């Protein structure tokens, strides 16, 4: 194991075989994670990989379902974040969770203010606050309201409070998301100083250049599984991206015969399509029976591309054509009229209508297209629901069950059924396999392949590169909300995709 | 016309300067609460009519239910140097300062319709009706009308806790005291509205054997009586005959009902508060006679004998 | 029968409460249940409940739909006053009955359209958006009636308030017919399901192609129409438009009726029939209090106590407890059966 290079006396926090199960999905599966003294350790992975679940299990925000947690040689089982804090594990989040209307000093000592004659001794508190912050090279007025400080200073105050409270392990959850380059440097100076004091620091981020700038080791999670822990210096950027997105490099699965479709006529053509602040203008062509994959890291503009194609966000530049005829796809309704369908990434927020039954959820889009005055007869709805429950193997005791009671994978299949019921010609799937169990995973991939064979055009967004490579005829690679590369035919391999993303990352880092 | 106005203002100016004047040349400011009810609108109309018939120049200010507007209006009247101020105060408290200013400027203030919690020497007099007396007049009429025969009375109260509801109930009960043939068997609030008056009367009728057990209705205002009359008719009884109806306020619609024989009597809460006020003012200006601190308006009883249609026609135009 | 069963189960608690309230009143006042025919119409306290409950029942129909979209309409009481005033003003200035009714209903629709545009197009929170008309509406009504009660004598208009049809008071006929019509409209078409989807998850519905904006506006327009009908009835009932008092606080009674009917203020699943039962429960309590002969100072306390009791019984916690007991009972029953 590459992770076990540290001697046991150097390890401050050790998590072994951590399990966490949510209804319908296994969020963590026997994950091991070891943090050394004086180490900055990056925890990486795409959305839903299990990073935040692991952190929450460590900080007591969740109770783990299995595994051991050892802090400084002692087994711990924190019931809540306060207990974890007392034990020595402090956390600082992206959104500073302090009180902006209190002073800096009050924020530092909230709940443990120095007292004199039973009253808060403000003078002593301010003095101690100044001493504490001096250790962070921070010379600010501790009597000022926290809201008057910059976000970076607020971050440092939050870190100072967490370290002062806990002092063994510091978890930084996306601390740099809202900081500029200068502020990031200031924060890193603080992190380096804490590192020399022997603190173990967990650093969660999706900026890879920052990972290489400050981290000693990197642990990557994917789908609730540990992919591996590596020395940062010995892990090339390409390989890191491969760890995050695909299983193994060179492990190529090519199942679909792809050659013939590339010759077919273009059915959908988007030219100069874009929306300011969302996605830079791009050109996109999709043929009948073709799967176009979209790859890129989190925040690269994947979902934005899907939303603009479907009209959920209006394009402010460019034009769309279907079979040579210009069309206006300015709203989901318009897109649906042109036989488009869209399974959104965030099922709970954008997909399911929780209190409605599985039957109603499946019938919804078709009903919306028919209009309110032409209701789908109950019997027809039931037939439709039963047909898709059977065809997609949606596991539910009853088609009248509220859909919120189903597991994630079955909800996903029901949303797919909702679109298949409209008999679409162009389906956009945003992360169709995220957060669902392995069985359902395979079924959805098979379904994508079947739909494509039946002549449907598909756009599939996924952070599972090997999956994407398996069914895509072409792959568009995104970075910084821009379409940077398009891979066709034999060039569609995880290696190429990772390279395209990494090339962008290097560019981004050098800027 | 211009000349006349100029002359008039010159006279007013002179009157102010020499401190003596005749009623005919008076300028009076009137701060009205607003126009929240028909009665209030009638009061405004009548005040204007009274001023015109006496040749008084009336400066009218509508406060739209706000005391601050009234205080502003009063200050502006003082600044204009009017001869007297009429005010219908929207609330009872908070008048001391502005009344003192008026007193310092030697402008008499007369309160209309409602009183204030200020010291009595800050205003000249208050012209109001006596709510208890109104209830009493209604009760006495009923005592005389049944002439000793046993009679079950149902009562429609005003809004629970409001002073008209409390006082009109008290006065009515005082009139009935000692007449054991009259008994109030049910009393419920109708919120002074027609809708509630009708709904509550319906329940009275159901509760008292379809109304056969009820001999008279006493309503704290005419609006509830009008609603109740409809309920009685819909129950198949004859209001005014099967069930006597007596109420208070004397709004035009009750006269129509009386003309149709469906209501028997009403006690007037006169909207003419300005008449007595102007009389007192004239007497004061003439020879300095100070009126009593409280001028009680007449609570006049109207019955079917008083040619209700004629009264209706008179009242109709007043803005009720 | 099978298709009806879920509906009956849905309405069972409200029906049980209504029966309980009616029984309670008739214990104190036995004549409550007495019905007789008088002048060709049914006469009795139960008819009064149906008749007096008409405005709240009508408002509750529109309010149910608005609440199902996760909104609320505070303006209905004021819209009642406006429409009553418009009807009275129109009929007294010599317009025909048909013209008057059309005008009053159109004004109600317009008020609803105003609310709907504020909520759906400008995206203002419903409670704020409808507060505007709640406050301003009564002033508008007072402008129309010039502060006085505007009385009228048109027999046609009065018939709507106090006439009768097939022995039932007109207001009862109107709210029953309108309630059934709206129920059929939403349940025989797809409107009901689309409204529920919109109320539960507006974004997901939009992404599925539901015209959520149009539906939202339509919900408030319906509510405005209901308020207009209620306003006409309230004015016709007393042969006059009382801008100060018509519909005063009835928006709250209507919301209460919807809630007593077991509909969630968070939107989604709704039942108009249950809301109508809720309106009848509230009116039964009102009428019962009037019949009881208690001093009026107790009216509101008694009403509040009974409603708190009903809401407590319907609360999720208590329902869970009841379900728990129910399950253990049925479990016992199975055990017994197996023992046989």
Mean of the per-residue pLDDT values of chain A: 85
DSSP summary character for residue A20: E
Q: What b/e string do you get for A149-158 counting C-beta neighbours within 10 Å, with b at 16 or more?
A: bebbbbbbbb
**Full domain range(s) for residue A30:** 8-101+145-235
Question: Given CB atoms, is C154 within the 8 Å cutoff of chain B?
Answer: no
Please tell me whether residue A353 adopts helix, strand or coil conformation: coil
Kindly identify which residue of chain C lies nearest to residue A338, measuring between CA atoms: C209
CB A218, CB A211: distance < 8 Å: yes
**Best residue of C189, C207, C267 to probe chain A, by most A CBs closer than 10 Å:** C207
**C324 has a pLDDT exceeding 70:** no
Question: Given CB atoms, is B195 within the 8 Å cutoff of chain C?
Answer: yes
Kindly identify which residue of chain B lies nearest to residue C33, measuring between CA atoms: B206
Same domain, A67 and A214: yes
Percent of chain B whose pLDDT exceeds 90: 73
Which distant-in-sequence residues (6+ apart) come within 8 Å of C245 by Cβ? B191, B192, B193, B194, B195, B196
Report d(CA B261, CA B241) in Å as an integer.
Answer: 8
Strand partners, C18: none
Which distant-in-sequence residues (6+ apart) come within 8 Å of B180 by Cβ? none
pLDDT of residue B16: 42
A68 vs B14, more confident: A68
C contacts of A338 (beta carbons < 8 Å)? none
C contacts of A344 (beta carbons < 8 Å)? 204, 207
Percent of chain A whose pLDDT exceeds 70: 90
Answer whether C201 sits within 8 Å of A373, measured CB to CB: no
Which distant-in-sequence residues (6+ apart) come within 8 Å of A80 by Cβ? A60, A61
Q: What b/e string do you get for B76-98 counting C-beta neighbours within 10 Å, with b at 16 or more?
A: ebbeeebbbbbbbbbeeebbeeb
C contacts of A360 (beta carbons < 8 Å)? 193, 196-197
Domain ends where: A204, A235, A266?
A235
Answer whether C189 sits within 8 Å of A369, measured CB to CB: no
Strand partners, B61: B31
Answer whether C203 sits within 8 Å of A349, measured CB to CB: yes
Same domain, A176 and A73: yes
State the CB neighbour count (10 A cutoff) for residue B297.
Answer: 21
**Best residue of C5, C6, C190, C213 to probe chain A, by most A CBs closer than 10 Å:** C190
**A298 has a pLDDT exceeding 90:** no
Walk across the sheet containing B244-249 and list its strands.
B182-189, B151-157, B216-219, B244-249, B265-268, B301-303
Chains B and C touch (3+ CB pairs under 8 A): yes
**Best residue of A329, A341, A353 to probe chain C, by most C CBs closer than 10 Å:** A353
Question: Given CB atoms, is C328 within the 8 Å cutoff of chain B?
Answer: no
Compare CB distances from A333 to C193, C209, C268 and report the shortest one's residue: C209
Question: Given CB atoms, is C153 within the 8 Å cutoff of chain B?
Answer: no
Pick the CATH number of C44-291 from 3.30.70, 2.30.30, 1.10.3470, 1.10.10: 1.10.3470
Token digits of residue A155: 């971050």
Tell me what the mean pLDDT of segment B42-58 comes to: 92
Please report whether residue A112 resides in a domain.
no
**Best residue of B159, B195, B211 to probe chain C, by most C CBs closer than 10 Å:** B195
Domain count, chain A: 3
Report d(CA C256, CA B201) in Å as an integer.
Answer: 25
pLDDT band at B23; cut points 50, 70, 90: very low
**A274 has a pLDDT exceeding 80:** yes
Beta strands of chain B (E only): which ranges? 27-32, 57-62, 84-87, 109-112, 125-128, 151-157, 182-189, 216-219, 244-249, 265-268, 294-296, 301-303
Same domain, A86 and A212: yes
Percent of chain B whose pLDDT exceeds 70: 92
Chain C 18-57, residues with CB within 8 Å of chain A CB atoms: none
**Domain assignments of chain B as residue spans, ordered by start:** 2-129+271-289, 131-269+304-315
pLDDT digits (tens, 9 = 90+) for A63-122: 889 899 999 889 999 888 888 888 999 888 776 678 888 888 888 888 777 777 778 888
Report d(CA C307, CA A138) in Å as an integer.
Answer: 59
Token digits of residue A191: 């992190």
Which distant-in-sequence residues (6+ apart) come within 8 Å of A378 by Cβ? C3
pLDDT of residue B12: 44
Which distant-in-sequence residues (6+ apart) come within 8 Å of B44 by Cβ? B32, B35, B60, B319
Report d(CA A279, CA A293) in Å as an integer.
Answer: 17
pLDDT digits (tens, 9 = 90+) for B90-147: 888 889 999 999 999 999 999 998 888 888 899 999 999 999 999 999 999 999 999 9
Sign of the alpha-carbon torsion through A462, A466, A468, A471: negative
Answer whether B195 sits within 8 Å of C45, measured CB to CB: no
Could you give the ipTM of this predicted complex? 0.87
Kindly identify which residue of chain A lies nearest to residue C206, measuring between CA atoms: A332
pLDDT of residue B115: 87
Compare CB distances from C207 to A342, A354, A372 and report the shortest one's residue: A342
Compare CB distances from B234 to C162, C295, C297 and report the shortest one's residue: C162
Report d(CA B86, CA B28) in Å as an integer.
Answer: 7
pLDDT of residue A246: 64
Answer whether C204 sits within 8 Å of A352, measured CB to CB: yes
pLDDT of residue A505: 52
Q: Is A72 left (phi over 0), alpha (psi -120 to 50) or beta?
A: left
Chains A and B touch (3+ CB pairs under 8 A): no
A218 vs B162, more confident: A218
- Return the minimum-mean-pLDDT range out of A354-363, B155-164, C202-211: B155-164
Angle between helices B67-80 and B96-104 in degrees, nearest 10: 10
Answer whether C201 sits within 8 Å of A376, measured CB to CB: no
Same domain, A57 and A167: yes
Sign of the alpha-carbon torsion through B135, B141, B144, B145: negative
Report d(CA A414, CA A403) in Å as an integer.
Answer: 8
Residue with tokens 């009795």: C44
pLDDT of residue B20: 39
Please report whether residue A47 resides in a domain.
yes
Sign of the alpha-carbon torsion through A222, A228, A229, A234: negative
**A396 has a pLDDT exceeding 70:** yes
B contacts of C238 (beta carbons < 8 Å)? 194-195, 198, 226-227, 230
Q: What is the 3-state secondary structure (H, E, C) of B80-106?
A: HCCCEEEECCCCCCCCHHHHHHHHHCC
**B14 has a pLDDT exceeding 60:** no
Q: Which CATH class is domain B2-129+271-289?
A: alpha beta
CA distances to A342, A375, C142 from A357, rounded to whole Å, are: 20, 16, 48
Token digits of residue C305: 């106590």
pLDDT of residue A506: 46
C42 vs A245, more confident: C42
pLDDT of residue A24: 62
Helices (H), A166-318: 181-196, 208-214, 237-245, 302-310
Tell me what the mean pLDDT of segment C310-333 comes to: 67
Same domain, A169 and A72: yes
Report d(CA C217, CA C234) in Å as an integer.
Answer: 26
Chains that touch B (3 or more CB pairs under 8 A): C
CA distances to B140, B193, B247, B250, C92 from B136, rounded to whole Å, are: 6, 22, 11, 15, 37
pLDDT of residue B57: 93
Report d(CA B116, CA A105) in Å as an integer.
Answer: 55
Return the number of CB contacts < 8 Å for B and C.
Answer: 89
Answer whether B227 sits within 8 Å of C146, measured CB to CB: no
Residue with tokens 């990557």: A220
pLDDT of residue B280: 93
Domain ends where: A188, A205, A235?
A235
Report d(CA A107, CA A208) in Å as an integer.
Answer: 31
**Domain assignments of chain C as residue spans, ordered by start:** 44-291, 294-340
Tell me what the mean pLDDT of segment A211-231 comes to: 90
Of the spans A211-215, B122-126, B252-256, C224-228, which averages the highest pLDDT?
C224-228
C contacts of B226 (beta carbons < 8 Å)? 238
Same domain, A81 and A164: yes
**C130 has a pLDDT exceeding 50:** yes
pLDDT band at A346; cut points 50, 70, 90: confident
Answer whether C237 sits within 8 Å of B226, measured CB to CB: no
- Return the minimum-mean-pLDDT range out of A245-254, A343-352, B142-151, B262-271: A245-254
- Residue A320 C-alpha, separation from nearest chain C C-alpha, in angstroms: 19
Kindly identify which residue of chain C lies nearest to residue A367, measuring between CA atoms: C190
Pairing of strands C168-169, A279-287: unpaired
The number of C-alpha atoms within 13 Å of B206 and in the hemisphere containing its C-beta is 29
Instruction: List the one residue out of A443, A463, A468 whose CA is nearest residue A303.
Output: A463
Report d(CA B186, CA A168) in Å as an integer.
Answer: 79
Angle subtended at Cα C236 by Cα C234 and Cα C237, rounded to the nearest 5 degrees: 65
C contacts of A373 (beta carbons < 8 Å)? 189-190
Instruction: List the one residue out of B179, B178, B244 whose CA is nearest residue B211.
Output: B244
Walk across the sheet containing A457-461 and list its strands.
A340-343, A426-430, A457-461, A291-295, A474-479, A482-488
**A9 has a pLDDT exceeding 70:** no
Answer whether C244 sits within 8 Å of B37, measured CB to CB: yes
pLDDT of residue B3: 46
**Best residue of C208, C222, C264, C268 to probe chain A, by most A CBs closer than 10 Å:** C208
Just give the CATH number of B131-269+304-315: 3.40.50.2300
Domain ends where: A401, A423, A445?
A423
- Residue C261 C-alpha, separation from nearest chain B C-alpha, in angstroms: 24
Kindly identify which residue of chain A lies nearest to residue C215, measuring between CA atoms: A372
- Residue C210 C-alpha, separation from nearest chain A C-alpha, in angstroms: 5
State the CB neighbour count (10 A cutoff) for residue A188.
Answer: 17
Report d(CA A60, CA A132) in Å as an integer.
Answer: 27
Question: Given CB atoms, is C201 within the 8 Å cutoff of chain B?
Answer: no
CB B310, CB B83: distance < 8 Å: no
pLDDT band at C3; cut points 50, 70, 90: low
Token digits of residue B75: 């200050």
Which distant-in-sequence residues (6+ apart) come within 8 Å of A87 by Cβ? A71, A76, A78, A166, A168
Chain C 157-216, residues with CB within 8 Å of chain A CB atoms: 188-191, 193-194, 196-197, 200-201, 203-211
**C198 has a pLDDT exceeding 60:** yes
Report d(CA A385, CA B171) in Å as an integer.
Answer: 74
Same domain, A170 and A58: yes
pLDDT of residue A435: 65
Q: What is the dihedral of CA C114, C115, C116, C120, to 10 degrees?
A: 110
Kindly identify which residue of chain C lies nearest to residue A342, measuring between CA atoms: C207
Residue with tokens 């306060």: A82
Q: What's the first-to-final CA gap in chain A, in angstroms?
A: 36
Token digits of residue A345: 């990434």
Answer whether C52 sits within 8 Å of B189, measured CB to CB: no
Angle subtended at Cα A158 by Cα A153 and Cα A162, rounded to the nearest 5 degrees: 145
pLDDT of residue A16: 92
pLDDT of residue A436: 67
pLDDT band at A481; cut points 50, 70, 90: confident
Answer whether B207 sits within 8 Å of C293, measured CB to CB: yes
CB C87, CB C235: distance < 8 Å: yes
Residue with tokens 């002092």: A167
Sign of the alpha-carbon torsion through C306, C312, C315, C320: negative
Tell me what the mean pLDDT of segment C218-222 comes to: 97
Residue A464 class from Cβ within 10 Å (0-12 exposed, 13-18 middle, 19+ buried)? buried
pLDDT of residue C326: 58
pLDDT of residue A2: 42
State the CB neighbour count (10 A cutoff) for residue B200.
Answer: 28
Please report whether residue A184 resides in a domain.
yes
pLDDT digits (tens, 9 = 90+) for B208-224: 988 999 999 999 999 99
State the CB neighbour count (10 A cutoff) for residue A369.
Answer: 18
**A385 has a pLDDT exceeding 90:** yes
pLDDT of residue B41: 84
């Amino acid at each position: 194991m590459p992770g076990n290079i540290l001697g046991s006396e150097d390890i401050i926090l050790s998590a072994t075989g951590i399990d966490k199960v949510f209804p319908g999905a296994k969020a963590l599966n026997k994950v091991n994670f070891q943090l050394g003294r004086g180490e900055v350790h990056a925890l990486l992975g795409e959305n839903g990989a299990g990073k935040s679940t692991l952190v929450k299990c460590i900080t007591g925000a969740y109770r783990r379902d299995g595994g051991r947690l050892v802090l400084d040689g002692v087994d711990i089982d924190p019931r809540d974040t306060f207990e974890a804090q007392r034990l020595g594990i402090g956390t600082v989040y992206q959104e500073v969770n302090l009180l902006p209307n209190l002073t800096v000093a009050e924020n530092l000592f909230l709940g443990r203010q120095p007292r004199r004659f039973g009253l808060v001794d403000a003078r002593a508190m301010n003095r101690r606050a100044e001493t504490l912050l001096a250790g962070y090279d921070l010379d600010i007025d501790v009597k000022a309201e926290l809201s008057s400080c910059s976000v970076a200073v607020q971050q440092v105050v939050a870190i100072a409070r967490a370290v002062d409270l806990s002092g063994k392990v510091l978890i930084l959850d996306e601390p740099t998301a809202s900081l500029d380059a200068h502020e990031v440097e200031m924060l890193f100076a603080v992190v380096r100083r804490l590192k020399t004091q022997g603190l173990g620091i967990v650093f969660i981020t999706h900026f890879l250049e920052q990972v290489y700038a400050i981290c000693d080791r990197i642990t990557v999670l994917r789908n609730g599984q540990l992919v591996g822990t590596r020395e940062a210096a010995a892990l090339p950027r390409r390989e890191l991206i491969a760890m995050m997105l695909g299983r193994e490099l060179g492990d190529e699965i090519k199942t679909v015969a792809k050659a013939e479709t590339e010759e077919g006529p273009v059915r959908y053509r988007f030219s100069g399509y874009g929306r300011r602040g969302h996605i830079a203008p791009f050109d996109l062509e999709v043929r009948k029976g073709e799967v176009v994959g979209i790859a890129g890291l989190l925040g690269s503009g994947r979902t934005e591309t899907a939303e603009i194609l479907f009209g959920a966000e209006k394009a402010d530049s460019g034009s769309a054509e279907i079979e040579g005829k210009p069309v206006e796809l300015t709203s989901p309704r318009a897109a649906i009229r042109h036989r488009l369908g869209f399974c959104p990434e965030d099922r709970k927020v954008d997909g399911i209508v929780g209190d409605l039954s599985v039957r109603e959820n499946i019938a919804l889009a078709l009903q919306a297209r028919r209009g309110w005055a032409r209701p789908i007869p109950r019997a027809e709805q039931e037939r439709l629901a039963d047909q898709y429950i059977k065809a997609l193997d949606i596991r539910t005791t009853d088609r009248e069950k509220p859909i919120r009671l189903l597991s994630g994978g079955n909800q996903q299949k029901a949303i797919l059924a909702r679109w298949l019921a409209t008999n679409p010609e162009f389906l956009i799937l945003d992360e169709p396999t995220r957060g669902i169990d392995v069985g359902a995973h395979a079924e959805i991939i098979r379904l994508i392949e079947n739909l494509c064979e039946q002549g449907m055009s598909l756009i599939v967004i996924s952070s599972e590169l090997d999956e994407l490579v398996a069914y895509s005829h072409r792959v568009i690679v995104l970075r910084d909300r821009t379409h940077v590369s398009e891979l066709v035919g034999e060039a569609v391999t995880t290696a190429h995709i990772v390279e395209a993303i990494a090339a962008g990352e290097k560019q981004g880092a050098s800027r | 016309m211009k000349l006349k106005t100029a002359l008039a203002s010159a006279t007013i100016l002179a009157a102010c300067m020499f401190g003596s004047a005749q009623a005919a040349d008076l300028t009076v400011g009137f701060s009205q609460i607003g126009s929240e009810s028909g009665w209030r609108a009638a009061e405004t109309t009548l005040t204007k009519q009274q001023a015109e018939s006496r040749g008084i120049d009336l400066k009218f200010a509508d406060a739209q239910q706000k005391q601050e507007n009234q205080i502003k209006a009063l200050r502006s009247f003082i600044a204009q140097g009017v001869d007297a101020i009429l005010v219908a105060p929207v609330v009872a408290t908070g008048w001391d300062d502005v009344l003192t200013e008026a007193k310092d400027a030697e402008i008499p203030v007369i309160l209309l319709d409602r009183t204030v919690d200020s010291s009595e020497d800050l205003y000249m007099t208050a012209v109001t009706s006596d709510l208890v007396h109104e209830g009493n007049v209604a009760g006495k009429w009923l005592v005389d009308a049944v002439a000793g025969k046993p009679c079950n009375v149902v009562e429609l109260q005003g809004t629970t806790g409001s002073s008209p509801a409390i006082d009109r109930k008290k006065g009515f009960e005082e009139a009935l005291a000692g007449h054991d043939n009259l008994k109030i068997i049910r009393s419920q609030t109708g919120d002074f509205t027609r809708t509630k008056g009708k709904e509550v009367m319906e329940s009275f009728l159901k509760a008292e054997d379809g109304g056969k057990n009820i001999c008279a209705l006493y309503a704290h205002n005419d609006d509830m009586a009008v609603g109740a009359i409809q309920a009685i008719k819909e129950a198949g009884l004859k209001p005014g005959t099967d069930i006597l109806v007596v109420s208070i306020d004397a709004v035009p619609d009750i006269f129509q009902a009386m003309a149709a024989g469906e209501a028997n009597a009403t006690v007037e809460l006169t909207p003419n508060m300005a008449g007595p006020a102007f009389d007192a003012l004239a007497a004061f200006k003439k020879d300095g006679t100070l009126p009593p601190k409280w001028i009680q308006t007449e609570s006049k009883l109207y019955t079917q004998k008083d040619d209700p249609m004629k009264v209706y026609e008179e009242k109709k135009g007043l803005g009720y | 029968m099978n298709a009806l069963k879920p509906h009956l189960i849905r309405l069972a608690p409200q029906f049980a409460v209504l029966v309980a309230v009616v029984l309670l009143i008739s214990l104190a006042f036995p004549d409550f249940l007495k019905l007789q025919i008088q002048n060709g119409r049914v006469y009795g306290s139960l008819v009064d409940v149906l008749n007096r409950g008409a405005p709240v029942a009508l408002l509750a129909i529109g309010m149910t739909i608005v609440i199902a979209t996760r909104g609320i309409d505070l303006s209905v009481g004021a819209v009642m006053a406006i429409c009553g005033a418009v009807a009275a003003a129109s009929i007294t200035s010599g317009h025909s009955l048909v013209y008057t009714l059309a005008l009053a209903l159109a004004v109600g629709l317009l008020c609803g359209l105003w609310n709907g545009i504020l909520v759906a197009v400008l995206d203002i929170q419903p409670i704020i958006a409808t507060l505007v008309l709640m406050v301003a509406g009564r002033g508008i009504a007072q402008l129309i009636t010039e502060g006085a009660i505007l009385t009228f004598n048109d027999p046609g208009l009065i018939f709507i308030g106090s006439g009768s049809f097939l022995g039932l008071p007109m207001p009862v006929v109107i709210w029953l017919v309108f309630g059934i019509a709206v129920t059929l409209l939403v349940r025989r078409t797809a409107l009901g399901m689309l409204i529920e989807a919109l109320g539960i998850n507006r974004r997901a519905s939009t992404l599925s192609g539901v015209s959520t904006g149009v539906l939202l506006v339509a919900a408030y327009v319906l509510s405005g129409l209901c308020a207009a009908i209620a306003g006409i009835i309230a004015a016709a009932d007393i042969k006059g438009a009382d801008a100060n008092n018509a519909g005063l606080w009835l928006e709250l009674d209507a919301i209460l009726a919807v809630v007593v009917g077991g509909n969630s203020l968070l939107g989604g699943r709704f039942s108009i029939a249950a809301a109508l039962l809720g309106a009848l429960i509230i009116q039964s309590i009102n009428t019962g209090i009037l019949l009881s002969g208690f001093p009026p100072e107790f009216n509101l306390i008694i009403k509040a106590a009974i409603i708190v009791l009903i809401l407590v019984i319907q609360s999720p916690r208590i329902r869970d407890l009841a379900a728990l007991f129910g399950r253990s009972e049925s479990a016992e029953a199975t055990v017994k059966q197996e023992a046989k």
